[in-house]
Each structure stands twice: as structure tokens, then as C-alpha cells.
Amino acid sequence: MDEAAARGRKSIGAKRNPESADAIVKAAEAVLREAGYAGFSIEAVARRARAGKPTIYRWWPSKAALLIEVYQRQKRVETPDTGNIEDDLAGFLENLFAHWRDTPSGNIFRSLIAEAQSDETAAAALAEYSKGRRGHTGRMIERAKARGEVAADVDAGIVADLIASFAWRHLLAGRLDEDDAAIRAAVRYITRGIRAIPGKV
């Protein structure tokens, strides 16, 4: 990298420099692709990005936090809005399983879950990410409530946790090739318990 480029990518404190942040995330993706999760480290990313470790740690407080950003950048999972809660949830899971199965994202997320069992910083980063995903999935339930499909007293967050539990179990057990019929059967069990009953308020 020439001197002018280096100056252009210098740190601007706790506030992220978009160009520098993008270079670091791309370097993280490259290290992960070449060395795998076991060979991934902040040191390797810093060397690849020609960035200082303090800069990386200022913007991502842990290796897990940086990995989650890499994962989020790679994640392309459509959240259906079909007007039917069963179709929405089944479609979401089918899309998620395909994404985990067909891209490096499945291995990244599986490794993050494993590391979170013994590393507090990884556990905290994963919990923060999961909180956002819980709200995202919960919005499908809230839309169904507004349509009158789902009972008004149903806790959307709990339903989102049930969906996530089903997904994570399949990821960790290496069962991402589950057929659509089995996914829909599982979703049906959940939706039967939350559907609005006509005449009941």
C-alpha cells in the first residue's frame, strides 16, 4: 500500500472510517476463506489489512464480534411475507438452511456457537446478535397478529426462539439437508399452538 493510501485509511478514533472498516472486513473474509476458523485471528487480519490491532479492537472488541460482522455481510436470507404465517416461517427456514448449507456462513456460525460455550466475549457477541435476529423473526409473528392469524396474547419473541432452536439444532447436528416437508411439519406444530381462535378475544 502506498503512503497516500495508508493516510486515507488511517484510524479516526472510535468512530469507524468506512474505507478502513471495509478493508478490515474484506481481510477477515480472506483469512477465514484461506485459513478457516481455526486459523482465524485478529493478528492475521491486521497483517492482511495492513491495519493496527488497536484499531481493529476499538471497532470490534473481540474476534467473535468481527466474525459476526463477516457473517452478517455474507448472509442473504429472504424473509417471506406471503400473507400466511405457516408459509412465511417455513419459507424462512428453507432459505436459511440453503444459505447455511451452500455458503461458508454455516461453518462460521457453527464455530461461533461452539466458541461461545467457553469464551465469554464470544457468548456476549452471539447474544447481542441473537437479540436482533429474535426481533427480526418476531416481526413475522407481529404481521400475522395484525392479520388476525395469530392470537393477540402470543409472545412473538418466544415463537422466534422456538424457530431459532429448530434451526440451530439442525445446524449443529449437520442436518441442513432436511426436506421441505419435514420443515413444514415442524412449523405446523408451532403455528397450531399460536393461531387465533375465531370468536376468542
- Amino acid, single-letter form, for residue 39: G
For the record, the C-alpha cell of 119 comes out as: 469464551
Q: What's the pLDDT band for 14 if we cut at 50, 70, 90?
A: low
Long-range pairs of 102-105 with CB within 8 A, sequence gap ≥ 24: 103/74, 104/32, 104/33, 104/74, 105/71, 105/74, 105/75
What pLDDT, on a 0 to 100 scale, did the predictor assign at position 199?
A: 59
Contact present, 188 and 87 (Cβ < 8 Å): no
Say how far apart CA 198 and CA 150 lie, in whole Å.
11
Handedness of CA 193, 181, 76, 51 (dihedral sign): positive
Q: What's the pLDDT band for 36 if we cut at 50, 70, 90?
A: confident
| 80 Cβ contact partners less than 8 Å away, ≥ 6 residues apart | 87, 88, 91, 92, 95
Q: Where in the chain is the domain with CATH 1.10.10.60?
A: 2-59
Q: What is the CATH number of domain 76-194?
A: 1.10.357.10
For the record, the C-alpha cell of 63 comes out as: 474476534
pTM, rounded to two decimals = 0.83
88-134 per-position pLDDT tens digit: 999 999 999 999 999 989 999 999 999 899 999 999 999 999 999 99
- Is the pLDDT at 46 greater than 70? The verdict is yes
What pLDDT, on a 0 to 100 scale, did the predictor assign at position 75?
A: 86
- Amino acid, single-letter form, for residue 118: S
State how far the alpha carbon of 176 is from the alpha carbons of 95, 106, 160, in Å. Answer: 11, 9, 19
Say how far apart CA 182 and CA 95 lie, in whole Å.
14
CATH architecture of 2-59: Orthogonal Bundle (1.10)
CA 4 from chain center: how many Å?
A: 36
- C-alpha count within 13 angstroms, C-beta hemisphere, residue 134: 14
Q: Where in the chain is the domain with CATH 1.10.357.10?
A: 76-194
What pLDDT, on a 0 to 100 scale, did the predictor assign at position 10?
A: 44
Bridge partners (DSSP) of residue 14 are: 12
